[in-house]
Structure 1
Amino acid sequence: MHDITTIGSATVDIFMKSPEFQLEKADKGVLLCQEYGGKIDIEDFFWQSGGAGTNTAVGFARMGFKTAAVVEIGKDIFGQCVYDELRKDNVDTGFVVSEVGEQTAVSTIMISSQGGRSILTHRGASGMLEARDIPWELLQNSRWIHLSNVSANTELIFQLFDNVRSSLIGMSWNPGKKELELIASGKIRPEHIPCDILMMNKEEWEILKDVQEMLLDTIEQVVITDGKKGGHVYMKHHYDYEYKAGDVQAVQETGAGDAFLVGYVSAHLLGKDIEECCQWGVKNSGSVITHMGAKTGLLHRRDFSM
């Protein structure tokens, strides 16, 4: 029996940092730019497995939970990297789907000297996870399910929802952009989402502006993160709680959301109150952004006062 099963994406992240990546203001925000046709020297280079499915699996395992990951990779060198890094942190890899002829997802992350980044992603095998790939019997023997981006596969999502509703399994969900669009369009209705904790960032929350009230009336805890500004937790029928971000100098920002979620949910499962759940999330995400890679800075349970 597993404490937590994560379902979502698996990638290999390639980080490239250079002061020559220029920041320029634009109507839609800030652009990270480089000269077209030019050659740029890279100051720092690093690669590591990533994707929310594996980031959260490793994070929960370091928090002391018996964890399994359900993700899809290709039978290639990058897929082996994903396997090896999950095993290194004692994540059960028995339910990782590995397919011949598919390419493991790869993200190239360009980081400016200020720590901001732009990401180029080839989703590959990560976007091919289907309902038939899910070990439904495993889920029935898990205490908690964490769902992240599954490329808006509605068959998988609805079947998972049915399984969660028919059991005593707890669930957290950090939907990807395509899943958010399904909720916004009404294809996934708030009352059909059986999760205990729904988490996303402020920009993603804005996508759901027309259904926000229904979500707040339906889901026990809705957590909205807002980077350096902190964030809010909305408790159904109770109150909302505002938390502050930590004061740390970011090396890069990839994995911050996954790390916050791991800290928050771990504290929740250990019976902590909302304030302490947020503190664990802030501490975990603050550690991650001071290291290269989405997993390097993930903390262990011993790093938190109990």
Structure 2
Amino acid sequence: MGKTAFVFPGQGAQAVGMGKDIYDADQRAKEIFESADAALGFELSRIIFDGPDDELKRTFNTQPALLTASVAYLELFRTRFGITPDYVAGHSLGEYSALVAAGVLRFEDAVRTVRARGEFMEQAVPGGQGAMAAVLGAEREALQALCAAVSAEGAVVELANLNCPGQIVVSGSKEGVQAIVERGKEAGAKRVIPLEVSGPFHSSLMKPASDKLDGVLAELGMEPAAVPVVANVTARPVQEPGEIRRLLVEQVSSSVLWEDSVAWLIEQGVDTFVEFGSGTVLAGLIKKIDRSVKVYSVNSLEALDKFQSETAV
């Protein structure tokens, strides 16, 4: 038997109604949604279950909503199967879900923190001045060189999410990202797709959000990680609270090294990934990185049953 990693999705995976099935069926899951509402002082669960979609898509709602859904599915899975992972990792916002899973952060503290993180990210750059785009088919080095050339001309654009071979998200000023949309072929891109986002996340333009988040994280109680957390910024494991805090601050304005993180986990002998939360975004990326590993997406009661029947746990 190889090793197991629990992984958690980030922004973009959200969907109205996520987690409603377990909220209705399981008391512990219901309590998690209710404790998120209590921690924030408003009914986040109503936005999660009923929308509207525009309201759920607002960064400061999306982040605590995804965290809550992920942790609710995780808790149900743990109660049912009692499996402890060898590693945990999360994509961007998902890193906070991973930290809850590893016992670093209390759930309520994490919910309040990502709500603030979402607000800081929205405030960092005035609306319409930043953008992001998915670049398909380009090599990392070639795209990096094109971004550097465009940035040198005065329009900031940087590599934001290194998701899997042939899928990289760029982020920066509206002009910088537009230049990549127009000139992507120079870096070998087959397609460049502008993304519907409210800001240039994971770029140096998010530095004001990093600075504000630093203040919030400094006040937060953290425990050493019970299992190693593979950090977005380094694609390497971290367990010590001071180091985790530093990397979370950096993460807001740094690249998410997802492909590198998954590759590192596979090198350590991980052959089974379990994704918790809405959708199957990470399962898709992991399969593009290495087809031979097993990936399960725990995003419904049905998925829990399927995991049980396929693994005979």
TM-score (norm 2): 0.30
**Greater share of helix residues, 1 or 2?**
2
TM-score by length of 1: 0.30
Q: Quick check: which one's strand share is greater?
A: 1
Q: Which has the higher contact order (CA 8 A, sep 6+)?
A: 2
